[in-house]
Amino acid sequence: MLILFSALMDCRIEKPCAILYSLIIVEAMKMELVIYAPQSGRIKRINCQPGHQVSPGDALLWLELESI
């Protein structure tokens, strides 16, 4: 099953993000799912592009979490 990747919110490499920051929106069967940052940190790598298909289990981005 493929999931259609819909859009990046405002993701850039090295951009800091706070806990619950909206990172990515994925779309499947006309439903949107927002992926939030689980903790404050910095975006280290983005492995997807708006409009491209992704599969379950694909790593869409890497987030370097701040130490607590």
Whole-number pLDDT of residue 1: 43
Beta strands in 9-52 (DSSP E): 16-17, 22-28, 31-36, 41-46
Whole-number pLDDT of residue 15: 85
Q: Would you give per-residue pLDDT tens digits along the chain (68 residues)?
A: 445 455 555 678 888 889 998 888 888 887 888 889 999 999 999 888 888 888 888 888 899 998 86
Whole-number pLDDT of residue 48: 83
Cα–Cα distance measured from residue 61 to residue 43, given in angstroms and rounded to the nearest whole number: 7
Whole-number pLDDT of residue 9: 58
